[in-house]
Chains A and B, each alone.
Chain A
Amino acid sequence: MKKNSKLIWVGLLFGMVGLIAWLYQSLFGLASTGMRNSFPWGLYIACFEFYVGAAAGAMLVCSLACLSGKKSFEPVAKIASFISLACTVAAGIAIFMDLGSAQTMMRLLLSPNLGSPLLWDILVLAVFLVVAVIMVLSMIRPQREAKPALIMFALVMSAVLGLVTALLFATQKAQPLWNTLLFPLDALLVGYALGAALVILFAIGLSKKDRVAEQTSSFGFLAKIIAFCLIGHLGLTAIDALPLLLGSSVENQIQAEILFGRYGGLFVLEVLLLAAAAAMFLSKRFNQYYKPLLLSGVLVVLGVFVNKILMLMAAFNAIPLSLEVDGAGLWSMPVSTGVFASGTDSFVTFWGYLPTLTELGVSLLPLSAALLIIAGLNNYLLKKGSEAGSEMESEGKPRQDLDNKVVYRIPRLIRIPPNRDNP
C-alpha cells in the first residue's frame, strides 16, 4: 500500500462542498432538490442503496478472504473491511440527508413502529456498523485477530443487510416494479458485485504499482464472484422483464412503457455496462491485468449506479392509479407536485427527475466520509506498519513486472490464526 494524501484532500474538499450544500438544503427545505410528490425518493436513496450494497459486498469479500485462511488474501480482507465500514457510514449519512425532519429522529427510539421495514433496516444497519468496526479493528490490530465465529457472523450480516434493505422496496405493493419475489435476491447480487469491484479498485489504487506480491489469486477469486453475481443479476432482470413485455394488464403496459420506452436508453446502458463487466471479469485476457481490471471495476460501479437510479425513475413514473379509458387508451391520474411554480403544471403524470446542484452537492457528503475513512485507515495501517519495523518493506525485493500482470505487494499486518494459515 502507499500513503494516499490525495484521497484525503479530495475527501475533505467533497466534505466542505457537501456541508455547504446541506446547510443550504436545511435552510430552504427539500424543495431545493429535484424530488416532488410524484417522485419522493431520488439521488439520496439511490446513494443509500448503493452504499448498503457496497458495504454488504465488501463484508462478504472480507469474510470469505478471512475464512479462506490464505495469506495472499489478507490485503484484500483488510481493504474490504475498510470499504465495508466506510460504506456503512456513508449509507447512514445518505439516509440522514434525505430526511425532511431529521430533528425528530429521536422518535425512532421513542415511538418505534416494529412493523415498519425501515425501522428494521435501521436496526440491521446499526448492528452491521458494529460488526464492521470490530472487523476493521481486527484487521488493524494484529494482536486481536477476528475469531471464526465473528467472521461467520459478519458473513451472515452481509446477506441480512442486503436482504433487509431490499425488503424496504420489495414489500411495497404500490410499486409493482419492486414488489417481486426476485427483487431482494437481485439487489443482493448487485450489491455483492459492487462491493467486490470496489475492493479491486481500491486494492489497485492504494497499492504501489512497482511492488510485487502474490495477489493474482485473490483478484481472480474476486473476479469470479463479480462475474457470477452480474450474470445472476442479468438473468433475474430478464425474468422480471418478461411479464412486462408479454403481459397485457394495465399495470404491465404502464411499467413496460416507462422502463423500455421513456427510460429504455438507461435500461440498455445498465445492461450493456454490466454485461461487458461480467465478460471482462470472466476472461483471463482481462482479469489478470492491471488496466482491464480497473476498467471492469469502473464499469460495475457505473452500471450499478444506473441500476439504482433507474429503479426509482421507472417505479415512480409508473403511476399505480392508471386506467384503460375507452377511446383514450392508458390514462394515469395526475399527481400534484407539492410545490407551486408559476408557469408550470401543479399536476403531472410524469416527472423527469434530475438531481439539482444542491442534491449533487449534498450527495458528496457521504462520499467524502467514505473516502476519508478508507484513506485514513489505510494511512494509519501504513504508519503502524512502519513503526512495527516496516514489515511491509522487508518481505523480499520487488520483482519486475514483466508482462504488466497485477503484481502487488500489500503489507501483511493482519494475522491469521496459525492453524488457519495456508502457506
Chain B
Amino acid sequence: MRYGMVIDLDRCIGCQTCMVSCHIHNSQAPGVWWNRVFTQGGLTHQNAVINSKDEYRMDYLPVSCQMCDKPSCQSVCPTGATYTDENGVVLVDYKRCIGCRFCMTACPYNVRQFNWQDAKKAKKEYGYEYGYPFDVKDGKKEKRLVYTQHRRSGVVEKCTFCIQYTKDNARPACVQACTANARFFGDLDKSNSEASAHMKGKKIVRQLLADKGTKPKVFYVSSKETALKEVKE
C-alpha cells in the first residue's frame, strides 16, 4: 500500500477551504499551517498576473507534505522520530522529536512546522479549541504518538494525510472539504484507486522539485502548462 494524492490544477479555484479544514481538523496552533494554497506569481493571493500573451491568469499552487518515497526529512532525523509507516505515509512521533529542526532545513517544500510556543496556550489565547480530540498511536512494538490534539512546545509537525481518519479508511480532511473536487486520495499501487484513476489520460502529470530526488507521492495534474515550468516529470 502506498497512499498518495493527486491535485487537479484545472479544478482548483484557490478558495483555501482545504487549508482551513486541515488547520481545524488537525488542531493546528495559530500561525501553523500544514497546507498552503497561493496564486502563482501573485503579489497576494487571488491577485491576477498578466502574462506575455496579455492574458489575465490566476493559477493556484496547493502545497502540503509531499509524502516522499525518499524523504530527506526522515534520513536526517537523529532520533528516528520521522518515519514512514506501512502505508507509505511519512509521520512524526512527537515523543521522539527533540526539536533540532534538522528536518525543516532538509525539506525543500518548507512544509514542516515547528511549535515555537505552547500550542494549547496559543489556541486558548484566541478563544477557541478545535480539532480531532483523541490521541492516535502507531506501531506494533513501540507505540508512536503520531497525532495528539495539543502538540507540546518544541516539536515539529506536518501533514499526516489525516492519520486519525485514514486509519479508519476515511479520506483526509482536505480531500473531503475541497469545494471543487480537485483533490484525489488513494493507494497509488492500485490502478483503480481514486488517485491513480484520476491521473489516467491527463496531459501533464508532475511532481514538485522532482530534481531533488525525493520522489513525492503528491502529483499535480493539468491539461495546460502552468508556471510549474521547472517542475520536472
**Residues of A near any B CB (own CB < 8 A):** 28-31, 33, 35-38, 40-41, 98-102, 104-105, 107-108, 110-113, 115-119, 122, 168, 171-175, 249-250, 316, 319-321, 323-329, 331, 333-341, 346-347
Contacts and interface: CB of A to CB of B under 8 A. Distances in A.
Interface in B162-216: 208-209, 212-213
B98 A324 contact: no
A40 B105 contact: yes
B108 A28 contact: no
Task: Sort chain B's interface into a size bin.
Answer: 35 or more
Interface stretch (B5-13, B130-138, B224-232): B224-232
Contacts of A174: 72, 105-108, 212
Given A174-B106, A339-B116, A340-B122, 7 more contacts: A29-B154, A38-B110, A100-B154, A101-B155, A122-B78, A320-B109, A335-B36
A101 B97 CA distance: 7
A166 B78 CA distance: 16
A31 B154 CA distance: 10
17 contacts: A29-B116, A104-B99, A112-B78, A118-B78, A321-B108, A323-B40, A323-B61, A323-B230, A325-B41, A325-B227, A328-B227, A336-B36, A338-B32, A338-B115, A339-B31, A339-B117, A346-B33
B229 A37 contact: no
Contacts of A319: 110
A29 B72 contact: no
B78 A116 contact: yes
B118 interface: yes
A102 B153 CA distance: 11
B2 interface: no
B100 A99 contact: yes
A100 B101 contact: yes
A325 B39 CA distance: 10
Interface of B: 29-33, 36, 38, 40-42, 49-52, 57, 61, 63, 72, 75-81, 95-102, 104-110, 112-118, 122, 126, 152-156, 208-209, 212-213, 227-231
A275 B85 CA distance: 51
Contacts of A105: 98
B52 A327 contact: yes
B105 A100 contact: no
A321 B116 contact: no
B78 A101 contact: no
Contacts of A173: 72, 106, 108, 212-213
A138 B80 CA distance: 39
